[in-house]
Structure 1
């Protein structure tokens, strides 16, 4: 049996749009996570995998933390090729079929081939 709180708007007849919006925003905020802290050897491994993928033109899956609110954010994952790594700005260019994404290297939390 489903709880009433799970279906708050289906069980109540009178909900103001502002109340609904605030409730949905609170639910979104519950999904936010703090930025993970990684060890130096993990960062070195990510750097090696990214440079290897760039040289050999292999596709990689990159997972990174995206800032949303205060010290919280969401975890994003995207798969594609790495045509460019900018050492000055410390960003990785991830090229997919539909999109081009520049990802800050300090926010990368996982790289897999």
Structure 2
């Protein structure tokens, strides 16, 4: 009986993984890849806000790098509205495609 329990015997070789356990494992592994939000100094924030204001006033296209815990997103469009109380901007990419972006989530901006 001892030979079945050791050296890849019946019990050791018949391991299975339940779908729920696999999903939990994959979720735990993806959470380990999560990264923290970078801290921007005052000068960088002023440069970002200046580029946003220039895009808004002159209707110029801007490229924004938006923070994401797993991978940063680069969005390109024109700033059409600035919501000061909520500190967010409306970025129009196409005529029908737009998104509201919180200014705190922007890590880089270039015109």
Same fold (TM over 0.5): yes
SS of the residue 2:23 aligns to: helix
Normalised TM-score (structure 1): 0.73
Per-residue deviation, 1:77: 2.4
Q: Which runs of 5+ in 2 are unaligned?
A: 1-14
Could you tell me which residue of structure 1 aligns to residue 38 of structure 2? 36
Between Structure 1 and Structure 2, the one with more helix by share is 2
Could you tell me which residue of structure 2 aligns to residue 95 of structure 1? 92
Between Structure 1 and Structure 2, the one with more strand by share is 1
Report the Cα distance in structure 2 between the residues aligned to 1:65 and 1:85, rounded to whole angstroms. Answer: 19
Instruction: Give deviations 1:35-58, integer Å, cap 9, x for gaps.
Output: 110110000000110110111211
**Is residue 82 from structure 1 mapped to residue 91 from structure 2 by the alignment?**
no
Number of aligned positions between the proteins: 95
Normalised TM-score (structure 2): 0.74
- The Cα RMSD (Å) is 1.9
Q: Which runs of 5+ in 1 are unaligned?
A: 1-12, 67-72
Report the Cα distance in structure 2 between the residues aligned to 1:77 and 1:32, rounded to whole angstroms. Answer: 18
